[in-house]
Chains A and B, each alone.
Chain A
Amino acid sequence: MPRNQSAALPIAYIALRLLIVINWLGGAAIFALLMATIIAPEWTFTALGIPPADWIRSVIAGLQLVAALGIVAVPLNYMILKRMLAMVVTVRKGDPFVAANAYRLQAIAWLLLALQILSMIIGAIGKAISTVAHPVHFDAGFSVNGWLAVLMAFILARVFAEGTLMREDLEGTI
């Protein structure tokens, strides 16, 4: 398919912009929930289906910690999405093989690593506060695919950096 007919870039551009908004909205929702559990715990937990009689301090504290970590993930997600968006823009302009994109990929790899560590911490908290009577399960923890993505991002960043250098050399070749 010719490059100018490809719909992938406009779709990626719109999807990334949407994800940026959704990410902030999700973050705001988690923040609001966390604040509500601190300011008005009785009302909030009752609304969530946990009456005060069933409260276990450690579980509540664990859930609040997970929510706080969820908020930490929001700016990390934003930094990844912002860099991906900038990369898509360079592709649309027809000049993606620039040093800035190599740095962006490298930064994305580190941010993905941070998110994986965060996910493992959240998974561990979930296991720690989960009991037979009150099972707690988060979609977090060690993920082979997640770590493969981190590894791949680091490798791609390196490949991109080398490619950019080669391209610079080629540009100066007469």
Chain B
Amino acid sequence: MAVIVKLDDLLHDRRMTLTELAERVDITLANLSILKTGKARAIRFSTLEAICGALDCQPGELLEFAPDPAD
């Protein structure tokens, strides 16, 4: 997918685990895991807001656009 979720990098920088983030943003670990592995089809603004609030980051730091070489 052309949009990459950099949740892993942000968690690493903040020394936070996915489980801790799940508790803070009130989103299930399973759903956060789907997001982290890039398997999500869409992300709600409310989810973005909660994650950015918990990780003290901007949406742009969480998502990156990388066009597919084939396109």
In-complex Cβ contact of B43 among A169, A171, A173 (8 A): A173
B12 at the binding interface (Cβ < 8 Å): no
Q: Which residues of A contact B35 (CB under 8 A)?
A: 174
- The residue on B at minimum CB distance from A169 is B41
B13-21, B26-34, B63-71: which lies at the interface? B26-34
Least distance between B40 CB and chain A CB atoms (Å)? 5
- The residue on B at minimum CB distance from A171 is B41
Number of A-B contacts (CB under 8 A): 23
> Interface size of B by Cβ–Cβ distance < 8 Å?
12
Least distance between A165 CB and chain B CB atoms (Å)? 11
Q: Which residues of B contact A173 (CB under 8 A)?
A: 40-44
Q: Which residues of A contact B40 (CB under 8 A)?
A: 172-174
> Quick one: CB contact mask for B34-50 with A, threshold 8 Å, 1 for yes?
11000111111001000
Within A148-174, the residues touching B (CB, 8 Å) are 169, 171-174
Q: Which residues of A contact B27 (CB under 8 A)?
A: 174
- The residue on A at minimum CB distance from B33 is A174
Least distance between A170 CB and chain B CB atoms (Å)? 8
Least distance between B34 CB and chain A CB atoms (Å)? 6
Least distance between B13 CB and chain A CB atoms (Å)? 21
Alpha-carbon distance A9/B57, docked complex (angstroms)? 50
Q: Which residues of B contact A172 (CB under 8 A)?
A: 34, 39-42
Q: Which of A171, A173, A174 has the most CB of B within 10 A?
A: A174
Alpha-carbon distance A172/B5, docked complex (angstroms)? 14
Alpha-carbon distance A169/B47, docked complex (angstroms)? 16
Alpha-carbon distance A172/B35, docked complex (angstroms)? 9
Least distance between A25 CB and chain B CB atoms (Å)? 49
Least distance between A156 CB and chain B CB atoms (Å)? 26
Least distance between B8 CB and chain A CB atoms (Å)? 15
Residues on A lying within 8 angstroms of B by beta carbon are 169, 171-174
Pairs across A and B, CB under 8 Å, 12 listed: A169-B41, A169-B42, A171-B41, A172-B39, A172-B41, A172-B42, A173-B41, A173-B43, A174-B27, A174-B31, A174-B32, A174-B44
Residues on B lying within 8 angstroms of A by beta carbon are 27, 31-32, 34-35, 39-44, 47
| Given contact pairs A174-B27, A174-B35, a sample of 6 additional A-B residue pairs in the complex whose CB atoms are under 8 Å apart | A169-B41, A172-B34, A172-B40, A173-B44, A174-B44, A174-B47
